[in-house]
Amino acid sequence: MDPPSFRTIGVGLLASLLLLSSSDVAHAGAGAYPRTIDAFVVRDKIHKDLPKINRCYESALRYEPELEGKVSVRFAVIRTGYVKGVRVVENTTGNASVERCVARVVSTLRFPRRRTGKSVRFTFPFVFTPQD
C-alpha cells in the first residue's frame, strides 16, 4: 500500500453546483464580455484547479490517514472575474486545516471578466475519500 501522500485522492465533484443567483445567466464563452457566468464555467475552472484542492487533502492525510468527508464552499464571482466572500458552509472532515486550505484555493480562482452584471453566488461541494 502506498503512503497516504501518494494515494489517489477521490475528490468527488458532486454533479451540480448550486446556483444561488440565476438572473440573466449567459454562458461565459458567449461574446467577448458575457453579462454573467454560469455553473458550467465555474465547474470547469474548479476541475482544472483540482490538483491544488487535492494538495489540501493530501497534506492532512499524512497525519490522519483515514480522513474523509465533505467541504462545501460558498463564494461569489464578481464582474472582474475575482472571487469574493468565500465561506465554508459545511465541513464534515472535522479538519480545520483542510477547510482553511480549500477556502484559500477557491479565493484565488479567476474567472472570465464581464462588462456588466452583478456578482453571481455559487456553492461547491468537495468530497474527499482516501483511495487505496
Sort 98 into a burial class: Cβ within 10 Å, 0-12 / 13-18 / 19+: buried
Is pLDDT at 106 greater than 90 in this prediction?
yes
| Whether 119 contacts 79, CB under 8 Å | yes
- Mean pLDDT for all residues in the chain: 79
Please tell me the distance from the alpha carbon of residue 86 to that of residue 73, in angstroms, as a whole number. 7
CA 1 – CA 20 distance, rounded (Å): 42
User: Where do we find the cell 463564494?
Assistant: 75
CA dist 99 and 132 (Å) reads 23
List pLDDT tens digits, range 47-70. Answer: 999 999 999 999 999 999 999 999
Mean pLDDT in residue range 31-40? 62
Per-residue pLDDT for 74 more than 50?
A: yes
Per-residue pLDDT at 16 exceeds 70: no
pLDDT at 125: 95
Question: How far is 93 from 15, CA to CA, in rounded Å?
Answer: 20
pLDDT at 23: 34
